[in-house]
């Protein structure tokens, strides 16, 4: 077994070591488990990602001999809106910088990367020349952008494949909209969350959950449940501050919501 096969088979974090990524170690392992499962089901797979920044989440696919093409879509705005209500700034965010980073990982593989600067609202799906097996949505963290990115991914996805989201604890309403969209369109899907903040949707007959490594992570999804709630606990602490608590107590009392008979 060669070094890459061994590393992906054991979800070895060294596949992420050369370029820093905004995912934590649990997320990286979940992403690798999905990659492992997808490459088994669709050897020679095509990977598409929306939101690449420095190239951190591209590196395991760049190193993967089973990945024949990588599409990286990134608008690279200086400031991006976010559902948390605070805008985020990315300095020196450029495609040239990302490609330089990727050359440092596997220079001979960079030719398989196709970069598209823009967002999915302005890019034609015909720019994606091959059907995609695995998508990763990690661009603008607003519910509106998430649904737009998801619909784009659905259009370029093969008959069967998977679409992953990062930061599910932030864009959960956008994910809910995506699932409603699938239901409205009567598209068969499965969906599950993975530690810590990855959310996976599979389309068609694409049973990545049967992969042993991924299955273990699905069974450990208590971590993503707790991570998500605890990361939002700030809001509960806020509404429990004295003036808000007094107001809530009053409202509950007036409406009789705190009485059980």
Ligand X SMILES: C[S@@+](CC[C@H](N)C(=O)[O-])C[C@H]1O[C@@H](n2cnc3c(N)ncnc32)[C@H](O)[C@@H]1O
Residues contributing to the site for ligand X (CB under 6 A): 21-23, 50-54, 56-57, 73-77, 80, 90, 93, 119, 138-140, 145
CB of 54 to ligand X, least distance (A): 6
CB closer to ligand X, 23 vs 202: 23
Q: Kindly state the tokens that stand for 254.
A: 């007036």
CB closer to ligand X, 52 vs 193: 52
CB closer to ligand X, 3 vs 118: 118
CB of 224 to ligand X, least distance (A): 17
Strand 189-194 with 198-203, pairing: antiparallel
Q: Which helix (H) or strand (E) holds 228?
A: helix 222-231
CA dist 42 and 188 (Å) reads: 19
Exposed/middle/buried for residue 68 (C-beta within 10 Å: 0-12, 13-18, 19+)? middle
Q: Edge to edge, what strands does the sheet with 45-50 contain?
A: 113-117, 67-74, 45-50, 132-137, 157-165, 198-203, 189-194
CB closer to ligand X, 32 vs 159: 32
CB of 116 to ligand X, least distance (A): 9
CB of 20 to ligand X, least distance (A): 7
Note if the bond before 196 is cis, omega within 30 degrees. yes
CA dist 173 and 184 (Å) reads: 16
CB closer to ligand X, 7 vs 58: 58
CB of 80 to ligand X, least distance (A): 4
């Amino acid at each position: 077994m060669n070094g890459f096969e061994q590393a992906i088979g054991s979800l070895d974090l060294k596949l992420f070591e050369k370029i820093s990524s905004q995912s934590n170690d649990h997320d990286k392992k979940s992403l690798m488990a999905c990659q492992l499962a997808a490459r088994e089901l669709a050897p020679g797979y095509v990977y598409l990602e929306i939101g690449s920044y420095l190239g951190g989440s591209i590196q395991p696919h760049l190193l993967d001999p089973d990945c024949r093409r990588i599409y990286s879509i990134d608008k690279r705005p200086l400031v991006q809106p976010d559902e948390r209500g605070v805008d985020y700034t990315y300095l020196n965010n450029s495609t040239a910088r990302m490609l330089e980073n990727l050359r440092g990982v596997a220079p001979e593989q960079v030719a398989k990367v196709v970069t598209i600067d823009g967002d999915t609202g302005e890019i034609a799906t015909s720019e994606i020349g091959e059907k995609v097996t695995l998508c990763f949505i990690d661009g603008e963290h607003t519910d509106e952008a998430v649904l737009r990115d998801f619909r784009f991914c659905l259009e370029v996805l093969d008959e069967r494949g998977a679409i992953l989201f990062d930061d599910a604890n932030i864009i959960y309403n956008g994910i809910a909209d995506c699932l409603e969209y699938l239901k409205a369109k009567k598209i068969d899907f499965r969906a599950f969350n993975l530690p810590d903040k990855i959310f996976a949707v599979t389309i068609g007959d694409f049973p990545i959950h049967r992969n042993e490594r991924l299955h273990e992570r699905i069974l450990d999804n208590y971590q993503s449940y707790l991570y998500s709630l605890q990361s939002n606990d700030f809001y509960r602490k806020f509404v429990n501050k004295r003036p808000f608590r007094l107001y809530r107590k009053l409202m509950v009392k007036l409406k009789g919501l705190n009485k059980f008979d």
